[in-house]
Amino acid sequence: MRSTIPRHVIVSLSLSLAVGCGQNAATTDGSHASAAGSAPSQSGAGGSSRAGASTNGNGTTAMSTSGMPGAGVAGATGTTGGAATSAGPAGAGATSGSSAGPTGADAGSTGDVIVTIKNGDFWLDTDGNRIEAHGAGLIKVDDAWYWVGEDKSQNSANFKAVNCYRSTDLSHWEFRNAIITRQTSTDLNAADRIIERPKVVYNDSTKKYVMWLHWDGQNYVTAEAGVFTSDTVDGNYTQIRHFQPNGNMSRDDTLFKDDDGKAYFLSASNNNADLSLYALTDDYTDVQKQIATLWAGSYREAPAIMKAGSTYFIVNSAATNWDPNQQKYATSAAMDGSFSSLSNVGDGTGYDTQTAFIIPVVGTKTTTYIYAGDRWQDPDLVSSKYIWLPLKVSGTKLVMDWYDTWQLDVTTGEWSAPNDNFISQQAWSLVSVDSEETQAEDGHATNAFDGDTSTYWHTEWKAAQPRRRTRS
């Protein structure tokens, strides 16, 4: 079924294809929203080698609202384990566009909080600043989600801070704290320090929030994991250790806490050729033992783990630095390392993104699993964006389609997307481009509207500066 959301809620398109990064170019303006929550839950992903820059961003969402009569669920445009949603017709108060304020999304007569996720824009926090939380990790605590990630506002791959934001609706994000900075420890203050892909889980016994991350140094040769703890999710974290788990190199990483309270760390090892899976100690601050070496020699990284029904999924990327590539996934009936071979998910470039995290949104009717990806822009890492897409789960099958915008009913856990939010391929011309691959490469900006779904465009990444071009 399709959504009947009024068109005006959907996007404000700019007709001048202002290309900033990524493929599927149409830009809109950003925004976000706000909403609901419960006890700590989560999952994660990790890093690798070379240089970069950054952004702030935020994300996403505009919010819409729902609530009105008729809002609610309607059917589905492919949904995950379940239902689909849609905001209802009566659209009334639906806000369009940009940056919703902190309390943006209203609840309507159904009481549901429905937000709109808008991909392709910079995402702003509730103060109007770009959200700086790349290589994301999320954890839900009581009624709020907390998003931790890399601050790349200094437009460099080097460490500035890990920031933490809070939202009750996955849309309106309040900046809470730089939970580690260069002042947190002497080690972190090293000039060439690189910190990526922080993930946080909560330990019910020690009552500590435990953060694991990719700890590195110049040219990513240090290749370690770092561990930090805090009494509060958004507090100042204390450094516990940085090390090579089981003597292995460790780059892109994720953390996963299972329903039975056991926690796992997964990271790229053997110079990114393998992914190594570890069971953590009871307090989650160390590795108890290595459980498996996954897809040895396949050069997979950027892992994220989720559990849907009784199936564990690992989504990951190939190791191509900041450039996007085919995301893949595998499944297992247990976290014992018996994962399947890898299958493709999303298009050949992950819609110009790299996996960072999977957010389970557990609602009153169903659970939606959100793929949280980074659309890196290199050079100019500061202009990287966040792309969030709903995953469609069916047994051990995972599908990820592209949506410029889609709606999430945070209350019920359902999602929907209009089937008409594609931009016409007709009559576009390139007015300007901020960055694209060189003429010798394939990803030119005009590919964004050539009507061929097998082509893609991508920002230039080899040269020191983006090429500039005006008019064509």
- Interface with ligand GAL, residue 48, by CB under 6 A: yes
Looking at the Cβ atoms of 53 and 94, the one nearer to ligand GAL is: 53
Q: What are the structure tokens assigned to 422, written together? A: 């594609």
Is residue 354 close enough to count as binding ligand GAL by CB under 6 A? yes
Which of 71, 294, 302, 372 binds ligand GAL (CB under 6 A)? It is: 302
Q: Is 238 in the site for ligand GAL (CB under 6 A)?
A: no
Tokens of 291: 């459980």
Q: Is 163 in the site for ligand GAL (CB under 6 A)?
A: no
- Least Å distance between CB 456 and ligand GAL? 18
What count of other Cβ atoms lies within 10 Å of the Cβ of residue 207?
8
Report residue 49 as tokens. Answer: 């080698």
Specify the DSSP class assigned to residue 233.
T
Which residue in the set 123, 237, 322, 456 belongs to the binding site for ligand GAL (CB under 6 A)?
322
Nearer to ligand GAL, 124 or 315 (CB): 315
Q: Is 55 in the site for ligand GAL (CB under 6 A)?
A: no
**Least distance in angstroms from the C-beta of 471 to ligand GAL:** 32
Is residue 90 left, alpha or beta, with left meaning phi > 0 and alpha meaning psi from -120 to 50?
alpha
**Contacts by residues 423-427 (CB-CB < 8 Å, ≥ 24 positions apart):** 423/13, 423/26, 423/449, 425/449, 425/450, 425/451
Query: Judged by CB, which is closer to ligand GAL: 237, or 322?
Result: 322
- Cα–Cα distances (Å) from 357 to 92, 373, 459, in that order, read 34, 7, 23
301 binds ligand GAL (CB under 6 A): yes
462 binds ligand GAL (CB under 6 A): no
* Three-state secondary-structure class, residue 243: strand
The count of chain residues that interact with ligand GAL, using the rule CB under 6 A, is 15
How far is it, in rounded angstroms, from Cα 212 to Cα 144?
21
When the beta carbons of 380 and 404 are compared against ligand GAL, the nearer one is: 380
Shortest approach of ligand GAL to residue 152 CB, angstroms?
11
CA distance 343 to 330: 6
Could you give the CA distance from residue 141 to residue 97 in angstroms, rounded to a whole number?
Answer: 29
CB 42 within 8 A of CB 199: yes
Q: Decide if residue 253 touches ligand GAL (CB under 6 A).
A: no
- HSE value, Cβ hemisphere, 13 Å, CA-based, for 356: 30
Residue 224 in the binding site for ligand GAL (CB under 6 A): no
Q: Does 96 bind ligand GAL (CB under 6 A)?
A: no
- Cβ atoms 315, 398 nearer than 8 A: yes
Q: Which amino acid is present at 259?
A: D
How far is residue 12 from each of residues 31, 66, 113, 133, 351, measured CA to CA in Å?
Answer: 11, 19, 22, 25, 21
Answer for which of 22, 30, 44, 47 binds ligand GAL (CB under 6 A) is 47
Minimal distance, residue 239 CB to ligand GAL, in Å: 20
Stretch that binds ligand GAL, among 48-56, 62-70, 229-237, 325-333 (CB under 6 A): 48-56
Could you tell me the smallest distance in angstroms from the CB atom of residue 49 to ligand GAL?
Answer: 5
Nearest distance from C-beta of residue 44 to ligand GAL, angstroms: 12
In the set 196, 253, 434, 437, which binds ligand GAL (CB under 6 A)?
A: 196
For residues 225 and 38, what is the distance between their CA atoms, to the nearest angstrom? 29
Decide: is 305 part of the binding site for ligand GAL (CB under 6 A).
Answer: no
Question: Exactly one of 319, 345, 387, 417 binds ligand GAL (CB under 6 A); which one?
Answer: 319
Residue 252 interacts with ligand GAL (CB under 6 A): yes or no:
yes
Burial classification of residue 364, based on how many CB atoms lie within 10 Å of its CB (0-12 exposed, 13-18 middle, 19 or more buried): exposed
Nearer to ligand GAL, 132 or 301 (CB): 301
Which C-beta is closer to ligand GAL: that of 63 or that of 180?
180
Residues 132 and 54: beta-carbon distance below 8 Å:
yes
Choose which of 98, 156, 232, 321 interacts with ligand GAL (CB under 6 A): 321
Q: Give least dist CB 50 to ligand GAL, A.
A: 3
Question: What's the min distance (Å) between Cβ of 391 and ligand GAL?
Answer: 20
User: Per CB under 6 A, which region of 45-53, 223-231, 236-244, 456-464 contacts ligand GAL?
Assistant: 45-53
| 192: its two tokens | 């060439």
CB of 355 to ligand GAL, least distance (A): 9
Q: Residue 340 contacts by C-beta under 8 Å, 6 or more apart in sequence? A: 330, 331, 332, 396
Determine, following the binding rule CB under 6 A, whether residue 135 of this chain makes contact with ligand GAL: yes
Smallest separation (angstroms) from ligand GAL to the CB of 243:
19
Spell out where 217-309 has E strands. 224-230, 238-243, 253-257, 263-269, 274-280, 287-294, 300-308
Residue 34 neighbours by CB under 8 Å, 6+ apart: 63, 100, 102, 103, 104, 105, 113, 115, 126, 167, 168, 169, 171, 172
Residue 67 touching ligand GAL (CB under 6 A): no
Q: Which is nearer to ligand GAL, 118 or 197 (CB)?
A: 197
Q: Which amino acid is at 38?
A: S
Q: Which parts of this chain interact with ligand GAL (CB under 6 A)?
A: 47-50, 52, 135, 196-197, 252, 301-302, 319, 321-322, 354
